[in-house]
Structure 1
Amino acid sequence: MCLTRTLLEAKGIRKVFPGTVALDHVSFELLEGEIHALMGENGAGKSTFLKIVTGALQPDAGEIYIAGRSVKMHSPVDARRMGVAIVHQELSLFPDISVMENILVGQTPTRAGFMRRRQMQEICEHYLERFQVRFSPTDVVKDLSVSQQQIVEIVKALVTDADVYIFDEPTSALSVDDASRLFGVLRELKSKGKGVIYVSHKFDEIFQLSDRITVLRDGSLIGTVPTSETNADEVIRMMVGRSIERIYPEKGRPNGQVLLKVQNLNAGSKCRNVSFELHKGEILGVFGLVGSGRTEIMRAMAGIAPRTSGEIAMDGHAVRIHTVQDAMRHGLYYLTEDRKEQGLFLKMSIRDNVAVTHLERLSKRGLIQRGPARDLANNVIRDLRVKAKDDEQLVGSLSGGNQQKVMIGKWISRQPKVLILDEPTRGIDVGAKAEIHQLLRRLANEGIGIIVISSELPEIVGLSDRVMVIHNGAVAGILTGQQLNDETIMEFASGLHKETAVG
């Protein structure tokens, strides 16, 4: 297909917030039958741009054109009416109603004022079957997993039959198989002449799917290049203004001292007879497909979820960990993958977020001592290179990468022995990822035992000294050395490997 017709065009978009130029005369073009990647570090202006082209924000200057016609979008409803649909990174579903009611919200087929539920179900089944889902259109959304809810979010956009689709980090919660099915849907949209704006930090997806790449940095347009004429190093230079020589730091040299030993841990069907060791100064990667039980195992070990049996030893001594408080008392900390909902207080300052982990030493007669709390927070800001005005800045106003640093920093300030991080770089840009990776290696080199759960194979391979692969709630293998490659890890994760590997 000859890419000639412009579906969406933004010209000279400018948006200023108090003290910040979020977008500085940014222009962008989406063609018919094109998948156009939009990339940039957190804080580059991507989210602001997407909000403007979907009517959630109004530009201070510039024009938006749909199919060559200048338009004014005053709300997301206007955008949908003009054929622009978005799949948000943050889920925007109604948890207490059914899947089909969420998918067809605002466009529910009715007769005499009543919903035609059978027709609704048939419409939703048609779209959901593309993802081979194991849930029904009549199921209530709150009963679904995060990955299943993400599929509902995607289908909600697909049913609009828009001309322009925007996908903002759509695979962040999807399994490998579901992501592959999504890619098939995107290619189908492209073949039908639809336009897709695709936002992702995952370079393998960008180079697999996109026709062109546009890069923003600090609110400015750096450039647009055909995907076939560039490479990851060049895109990184455009994003961060410099090359990142090592996204993954050099592997460590653990001294062999066993810091943590887990034997025959059991906690329901997702944690069955799990045994492994973590050495002092080691980064142990944990990988498994969605639903494998990798998170459930770590939560049971950290006292967050109840376990039925098993033994845990630290520094050679048996320990009793039945609650989070028990784990913390022994220097073992679990950092959730959901930093916004469970890991941080977004409407509180950096200082207060750090202080809540030290209430026993900072509170006096029920009040937090401001001076010591400020010192602790500033230590976190300095040591983890958090980009913030000061310790009083609200955590919710920080970029994703800096929020992650605050969450890690507040627990590091308690001088842990073992740190478990669940998806520590999900949704953050390549520059922030590199900083987090360097930080974790530095902590390991200082003697802390690090466990990293990640669904990104490049991260697992590049960061880990050893990898524990989980399949169906059990340890399928512990890999090291030459075994640390995508193919071998996936073989174990899929349950296809005949022998258990122990590294």
Structure 2
Amino acid sequence: MNNLDSIENYGVHEAGTAPILSLEGITKTFPPSVVALDGVSFGVHSGEVHALLGENGAGKSTLMKVLAGIHKADAGEIYLEGRPIKMENPMDAKHQGILLIHQELSLVPEMTVAENIFLGYLPRKWPNRVDWKKLYGDADAILKRLKCNFSAKDKVSKLSIAKKHMVEIARALVFTPKIVVFDEPTASLTDTEKFVLFDVIHDLKAQGVAIVYISHRMDEIFTLSDRITVLRDGGYRGTVETKETDEDEITRLMIGRSLDTSRNIDTAQFGDKVLEVKNLSCGSLFQDISFSIRKGEVVGMYGLVGAGRTEIAETLFGLRTPTGGEVLLDGKRLDITNTTDAVRNGLALVPENRKEQGLVLGMSCRDNITMAVLQHVSSAGVLSRAQESNIYDKYAEELAIKSPSGAQKVGNLSGGNQQKVVIGKWLATHPKVLILDEPTRGIDVGSKSEIHKLIRQLAKSGYAVLVISSEMPEVLGVSDRILAMYNGRINGEFLDSEVTEDDLVRAISFEQKGQL
């Protein structure tokens, strides 16, 4: 379908009404010559949840940032309620009733929750002083509506990632918006928080607010949306009624092919135990954790946010100090006190939060991938650009990193490509044990499939792999064994070939008496 078709179809609605918002022929190019959007048209109606899908780099977030005044389009027009509008900056967009809930956090860490929620709109009293009582009262009312268990006076820097995302969402309830864009809003939320968010979206929809919903999670898309628009490679690929389509059709529109979503059926031959964890504890975060990973094996660790999975990974990697237990590598006890010890001994951690823990956003893709192996690409303190480029080229090809060159700043890449750079960085260290914490968080279905295949290939080549995930299809798709976490403990251990989805749901939701 071409862009002429898109201008005809993006505004079609069963009620026959005109869309409240129309973007027509939006084009955006980034230096040196990256076409992010190529004449894209899109429209959304009042009281509609319109899903916007596409692979990482397809142009979804760029299109919404043009709408929100963060980027200026090179060509095209934006119409709100039938009249053309211009967005010079995000404040213009807010004044027009357009609010973007960012995929990546845009909070001020050293300010309170209330100050972040009302940033730019702090309530005032005579003589032009902040009305702190009203500020905290109004903010607490919003947090209560979102069923948040923290205070408006809490400093944002002290909150977990999930709670920070709830603060981002709280900003949408300050105003009476006409259009709200949710960009990957559930990426770090617990199941309980997701349901609260869904209730908020339903309330906004009932009030006539137009919702644009961006997510890689198909179950959410088919639960929430009325229509789905798909972008691919910066171009429009089609708009369909949600009730008249299915996941296979949407996937084909997104990536141009169908995906193999079957469970792992490899009959792998495992070697000796590489990693052994015995009765590992870390205060109240987790207790008496014991498991092992063999050479060539993928062990999945499944559980809800807050179950202790990430804390276990951080302890193994030297980011936390254990309060009990021991860790053995190839039968020898490890004494890891920091991340340098972990890397030296052959452990690697791909963290959950790539922007804060995995990347230096202002540096190039090449420099990020070689960051952990500088000793191998330098001599007498002088870096070899040729060796750096060879390493980057190797992993850019293997991981299908979409970037104009290795010199491109990693901060300019899409979320999925940034994650691939982090994975490449740690693969470059040739670890014995590779720990991946939510390896496909914020990544599109096509890239997910590629990373899942890569995980299996890494296992076949001899790596011992630990995959931490809150997505059941992911752990079922890549794991040979699955550890179910509940409340800081391993609550069940299953062979992938034998476990059912019901088994996993029970194991991560209720304490199993006498299970282990």
Quickly name the TM-score band, shorter chain normalised: over 0.9
1:219: Cα distance to partner? 1.3
- Do structure 1's residue 123 and structure 2's residue 138 form an aligned pair? yes
Distance 1:250 1:348, change over 3 A: farther
Correspondent of 1:374 among 389, 414, 427? 389
Map of 1:448 onto structure 2: 463
Q: Secondary structure at the match of 2:370?
A: helix
Q: Tell me, which stretches of 5 or more residues in structure 2 are unaligned?
A: 1-13
What is residue 347 of structure 1 aligned with on the other side?
362
For these two proteins, the number of residue pairs brought into alignment is: 501
SS of equivalent to 1:307: coil
Shift of 1:176: 0.8
Aligned equivalent of 1:51: 65
After the TM superposition, which of the residue ranges 220-229 and 411-420 deviates more from structure 2?
411-420
* Residue 315 in structure 1 maps to residue 308 in structure 2: no
Amino acid at match of 1:437: H
| Counterpart in the other structure of 1:23 | 37
Q: Which structure 2 residues correspond to residues 162-177 of structure 1 after superposition, within 5 A?
A: 162-177=177-192
AA aligned opposite 2:495: T
Q: How far apart, CA to CA, are the structure 1 residues paired with 2:112 and 2:340?
A: 37
Matched to 1:108, the amino acid is L
**1:248/1:437 contact within 8 Å kept:** no
Q: What displacement does 1:321 show?
A: 2.4
The code of the aligned residue for 2:343 comes to: M
Identity of aligned residues (%): 45
Shift in CA distance, 247/373, structure 1 to aligned 2, threshold 3 Å: farther
Superposition deviation, residue 388 in structure 1:
3.4
Mean Cα deviation higher: 255-264 or 88-97: 255-264
Within the candidate set 486, 496, 502, 2:501 is matched to 486
Written as runs of structure 1 = structure 2, the 5 A alignment for 1:299-338 is 299-338=314-353
Indicate if the aligned counterparts of 1:467 and 1:479 stay in contact, CA closer than 8 A: yes
Match for 1:219: what amino acid?
G
C-alpha distance in structure 1 between counterparts of 2:400 and 2:171, whole Å: 39
Structure 1 contact 249–438 (Cα < 8 Å) conserved: no
Give the one of 475, 478, 483 matched to 1:460.
Answer: 475
Following superposition of structure 1 onto structure 2, how do residues 227-266 of structure 1 map, counting pairs within 5 Å? 227-246=242-261, 250-251=265-266, 253-255=268-270, 257-266=272-281
Q: 1:414 to 1:20 in 2, by over 3 A?
A: closer
Q: Displacement of 1:399 after TM fit?
A: 3.0
Helix, strand or coil at the partner of 1:6 = coil
C-alpha spacing 1:3/1:32, structure 2 compared with 1 (3 Å): farther
Would the aligned equivalents of 2:479 and 2:496 in 1 still touch at CA under 8 Å? no
Amino acid aligned to 2:292: E
- The CA RMSD over aligned residues, in Å, is 2.0
Is the contact made by 1:247 and 1:437 (CA closer than 8 Å) also made in structure 2? no
CA shift digits 1:86-142 (9 cap, x unpaired): 110111111111111111122222210122222222322222113321111111111
Letter in 1 for 2:374: L
- Does residue 76 (structure 1) correspond to residue 100 (structure 2)? The answer is no
2:172 match: 157
Correspondent of 2:79 among 65, 87, 94: 65
Q: 1:126 to 1:482 in 2, by over 3 A?
A: farther
Inter-partner Cα distance in structure 1 for 2:385 and 2:497: 51
The Cα shift of 1:60 comes to 2.3
Which residue identity does 1:77 align to in structure 2? Answer: M
1:301 positional shift: 1.7
- Kindly state the Cα deviation for residue 20 of structure 1 after the two structures are TM-superposed: 2.4
Separation in structure 2 between the aligned mates of residue 355 and residue 22 of structure 1, nearest angstrom:
27
Of 21-30 and 254-263, deviating more is 254-263
**Separation of aligned partners in 2, 1:287 and 1:244:** 23
Rounded to whole Å, the distance in 2 between the matches of 1:84 and 1:203 is 25
User: How many Å separate the matches in 1 of 2:496 and 2:386?
Assistant: 48
Query: Are 1:10 and 2:26 counterparts?
Result: no
> TM-score normalized by structure 2?
0.92
One-letter amino acid of the structure 2 residue matched with residue 353 of structure 1: N
- The one of 178, 186, 199 aligned to 2:214: 199
Instruction: State which of 449, 453, 459 in structure 2 corresponds to 1:434.
Output: 449
> Which position in structure 1 is the counterpart of 2:125?
111
> Does structure 1 retain, via aligned residues, the 8 Å contact 2:58–2:234?
yes
Whole-angstrom CA distance in 1 between matches of 2:116 and 2:440: 29
Match of 2:205 among 190, 206, 228: 190
Equivalent residue number for residue 395 of structure 1:
410
Which residue identity lines up with residue 83 of structure 2 in the other structure? R
**1:307–1:282 distance in 2 versus 1, CA, 3 Å:** same
- Rounded Cα–Cα distance in structure 2 between residues aligned with 1:498 and 1:34: 46
State whether residues 3 and 32 of structure 1, in contact with CA within 8 Å, keep that contact through their aligned partners in structure 2.
no
Measure the CA separation in 2 of the matches of 1:370 and 1:16. Answer: 28
| Aligned mates of 1:124, 1:344 — CA distance in 2 | 33
Q: CA deviation at 1:237?
A: 0.6
Aligned pairs for 1:125-144 (under 5 A) are 125-144=140-159
Report the CA distance between 1:351 and its aligned residue: 2.9
Cα distance in 1 for partners of 2:34, 2:111 equals: 39
Cα contact 1:248–1:434 (8 A) shared by 2: no
2:432 paired with 1:417: yes
